[in-house]
Each structure stands twice: as C-alpha cells, then as structure tokens.
Chains A and B, each alone.
Chain A
C-alpha cells in the first residue's frame, strides 16, 4: 500500500431536519493513497456528495453535522481541525471541483480575478505575478487564448471551458488531494472525455491524488484505480476498479453494472434495479438494500450486515459473504443468529 493521503474512518455526517435525523453518511471508511485515483460510485442521494463536503468541512450547517468518525488527511484529523486550519488547507492542500460549471463561478467577476484570488489566498505573490501564474494555469488546462480569456466573464465561456477554469483554480496551489464531485455530469459526452483526460494528465504529472465522485461507471473505468460503492449512506463494496467492474460482489454493484446500456445487445430491454433509494432514518434494522435485492433472505431484514473481507482484498456489505452463510445455502435465515454481522 502506498502512503495514504486521506483515510476516512467511520465518518458519520447526519442531517437534522424537521422530519427527523437523517444519517446521510453512515460510518463510511475508505482511503486514498498518494497519487491514486479513487472513485465513489452510487445513485443520487447515496451520500457521496455529503462525504466529499464533509472532507472539506463545507457541509451546510445547520442542518448538517459531522457527529463521529475521523478524516485523516496526511495524518491530521480534519474533524478536530480548527476553522482557521481548514481555511489553510482548503484550496491549498485539498482542492475541490463541482458538478455545475455553469453556476460554480461567480458571474460578476472575471476569470482572472477569481483565479488570482485562489492563488493569492494561499501564496504571497503580487497581483502581477498572480496574473502570470493564472495565465500559465489556463494554458496548462488547455484553454486557448488564455491571455484574452483571463479578462472575460464566466458567461462568455462554454460549460467545458468553465470546468477547465475550475480545474485550473483547483490546481493553482498544487494540492495533494483533488476532490471532483461529478465533474463531467453536466457536460456533453465529447467534452466529458476531454475533461477526464485532462484530470488523468494532471494526476500523472503532479502526482495529485483524486477522489472522484460519480454515478457513471464509464467515468470510473476511464480514470479510477480503486472504487468505493455507496448505497443509502453506507459503503457497500470496495475494491480495485478491475475487480468491481469484472467481478462485482454486492448485489447492488451487480445491478449497477447490469443496468449499463450495451451497444451489442440492442434488442434487450435495459435492466434497471427495481424500487428506489429508501428514506434514511436513524436506527434502521436490516440491510439497506434488502427491499430492492433479488438475493435477499430473511436475515437481510433482521440484521445489519458488516463489511466482509474477501480473499483478494475486496470487501462487500452483504451476508452472502458471511462465512456462516457460505457454508450453508444462502436462504437459511435461521442459521445466522449470533453471527458477527453488526
């Protein structure tokens, strides 16, 4: 295992709403190594964005609050970090880009103003130096006519160009970790490929670790070394990109991969996982995915499954991989009492 840049341990971010407490991020653990690209995959509302905002300590509060767990960034626990320390880290050592390039830049300031600001918050440079650096950054992310673009306003650029500006801004202080929250979702397919290639290039050139949040397994296949699959606020499966895509273990991951459209099987009706993501609540019993799971058996509704380690380092939150279940048939709920699933 390489040096870890980021290690989440049992992170819990809950939202306190009028309808009760919602565990948006429920004991999530995973790690990102130096220069590694890790993908978090899941449907909308599974807690992947809240996880990323928790790392940045930017969860809107109220109603959100980190109520437990650790976020180790280069050995420092960000949950305990002071607001002042977080300001030093944000944009400097941890940077973030967002889903909506159209609304993520302030419409009233020029590209240059916003880029130079990102540099000058963390580096003691003159305005002139910052401008030179900003033009340099724009060139690096492949923006043509950087000297002219720098004085333009966001509305004068296309979505792809704005996302490049966002990436340039994120890369301005050479962060160790870049969090990309659905960076290509709002873009055209051809532009998506360009942005992904650009991120890959920055990852390789600067050795910046990337935490990529996406619902698109195609994007994962393109970029990621390892994958974390999330469902309803929990990690349900972890493994390398190859393992997850070739031999998914959790029924949810299997469903996700089955629901990818394949060009070769045109006649077949596109598969979709039945049902919808459940509403989250505190103290729910049973596997969160059980109501939608084709493999579910009695135990799935009575106990919360743990993350079971498999031989190759892959993990899955499913009783199918509990030793007791594997010995017998995967339908005998009676045999499971007293198992280690918690």
Chain B
C-alpha cells in the first residue's frame, strides 16, 4: 500500500513538469513580443523595455523557465498586471468559491445520480427506470446556461424563493475567514446567515450538478446491471440473502468502481470549467477569475489560474486512484 502510494506520488513529478512547461509557454506562444501584446499598440519603447525587464522576458528561455519554476516552488504565482497584487494571495477566495460550489454540486449529483441508478437497475424496465433514464438523457443533453437561466426565471424571478445570483447577501456581507462561506458562517455562529448562504448555493449547484448527475445515474445503472449478473451475486442469493443485502452490500461496492472514476473526472471538470455557470450566477469562482484575466490580457493570472486548475485536477485523480486501493483489494501495482 505504502509502496503503491509513493510510486503514484512519484508519477506526479513528470505530470507537474509537463503542466508548468505548458503554462510557461502560454506567454511565449503568442505571436510577436509578449510585452508589446500585454501593453497594447500604443505602448512606448521604454514601457516595453521596463516590462520585459520586470518580467524577465529579456532572458533566455531556459533561464526564464527555471526562474518560473523556482518561484512556483516558493509559492509565488506571480503578480497580477491588473491589480498589482500577488496572485497567490488574490486567487484563494476564487478557489474557495469554486470549491464550495463544486462540493455542493457533486453532493447533489452523487446522491441523486447513484440512488437513481441503483433503483433503475433494481427495478429494470419499470416506470421508474424509464422515467429516471429519460431525465438523465435530458440532463446530459440540456445546455447548462439554458437550465441556469430557467432556474433563475422560475425560482428567483417568478416564485421568489431563492436568490438569483451571488454567494451571499451583498448588502450585508460577512467577514470572510476561510472564504468557504458555509464554514465561515458556522464559525461566526450565525444561523440565519448559514441558511442564506445555503439558499445562494441551491440554484448554481443544481445547474452545475445536472450533467454529472445524469452521467453518474447512467453509469451506476449499467454498472449495477453488469454486476447483478455476476457469479458472486448468485452465490449471495444462494446463501439466502435478502434483496437489500445483495444490492447495497455486494453489488453496490463492485458497481462503484467504474462510477468512482466518473465522479472523479466530473469533479475535476467542475473545478476547472464552470465558467458559464459562474458567469450566469455571478459566482466569483476560479473560472470567472481566469475569464476576466483573459479579457484584460492579464497573462500572469491566466498562467497561474490554468496551472492551479490543472493541479487540482491532478490531485483529484490522485485521490480517486488512492480510493481504488481502499475499495478494491486487488489493486496493487
């Protein structure tokens, strides 16, 4: 087990090097002079020279790369051109916002998706199965921005039950501690604020969680159906086990192995690519942070934002791989 984990961690190194090479290249892959591109058409010679000097753009590429990596290893993600603030400090609230949203979206997706998949497989070809799979099909096919807008229109505009955007009531903002607002509200022991923040989470979580939910439901169903045909399930039945024991102990654990992969991948996708949902719900997450940086040609922020997202993706995959060894005793490399 320890050997497997350490080998798996060693395998991270080439991946991380590859990631930094790609993010490093972003600035240099733009046609023309990067300093010129950043400053725009009307920049003076001296301004360009100064920027090249301050960003180290006049040095040879290998030296630039080694400086870049050395800075990264010291936790220095560079400085935002727009706000002049260190990105490592600036980026945290955005990461926290995205994490919180992803967490709730995935809880929604996993709880509904896995259970719908189990019941569909259990009652195969029943009306529930047909209905659940129809909903899942609609879920994967629906454009998420449309779903998000419909949610806002129905639940915020027409019914007025839930807030349409933001993480909290902006007229009465809370002092952030961890920037995970639910946690922060708990730390403030402010019960009504917890409710308020949870209400803000509902619509974007459903919008963001719908596609993963549909994928997880379909995956769970097909995986369960496959497992239910296996010899060891017949053995469990032959022992006199009831349906509940068969399904929730023996079948589910086996069926979850491929589903876990999907959950991990989907979590990674949500953490990195929720720009649409974050924009519609004015959610100050990492997707919006990068999107705005692109609008302002804030290259250091784009670089670091992409690097952080990629890094999170890699870590999620690592966690999934480690979970396999916990679930399946046969996984030993």
**What is the interface of chain A, defined by CB distance below 8 A to chain B?**
56, 58, 60, 87-92, 95-96, 98, 100, 103-109, 117-118, 121-122, 153, 155, 166, 169
Contact = CB atoms under 8 A, between A and B. Distances in A.
A214 B170 CA distance: 76
A104 B329 contact: no
Given A56-B237, A87-B240, A91-B239, 11 more contacts: A56-B238, A58-B234, A89-B240, A92-B240, A107-B232, A108-B254, A117-B236, A117-B241, A118-B239, A153-B329, A169-B235
Contacts of A169: 235, 239
B111 interface: no
Given A87-B242, A153-B329, A153-B330, A105 B237 contact: no
Contacts of B235: 98, 104-106, 166, 169
B254 A91 contact: no
Given A107-B330, A108-B328, A96 B250 contact: no
Contact of B241 (A105, A108, A121): A121
28 contacts: A56-B237, A58-B234, A58-B238, A87-B240, A87-B241, A88-B240, A98-B234, A103-B231, A104-B234, A104-B235, A105-B232, A105-B235, A106-B235, A106-B236, A106-B250, A106-B254, A107-B328, A107-B329, A108-B327, A108-B329, A109-B250, A109-B253, A117-B236, A117-B239, A118-B239, A121-B239, A153-B329, A153-B330
A20 B242 CA distance: 32
Nearest to A173: B240
Interface residues of B, number: 21
A183 B232 CA distance: 15
A98 B115 CA distance: 31
A286 to B, nearest CB: 35
Contacts of A122: 240
A204 to B, nearest CB: 23
Interface of B: 229-232, 234-242, 245, 250, 253-254, 327-330
B234 A91 contact: no
A8 to B, nearest CB: 18
A88 B242 CA distance: 10
Residue picked from B229, B231, B241, B250, most chain A C-beta under 10 Å: B231
A103 B236 CA distance: 12
Nearest to B235: A104
Contact of A155 (B229, B254, B330): B330
Given A153-B330, A155-B329, A155-B330, A104 B231 contact: yes
B231 A98 contact: yes
Nearest to B327: A108
B245 to A, nearest CB: 8
A214 B232 CA distance: 20
Contacts of A58: 234, 237-238
A212 to B, nearest CB: 16
Residue picked from A58, A105, A109, most chain B C-beta under 10 Å: A109
Contacts of A104: 231-232, 234-235
Nearest to B241: A121
Nearest to A57: B237
Given A103-B232, A104-B232, A106-B232, A91 B240 contact: yes
Contacts of B237: 56, 58, 90
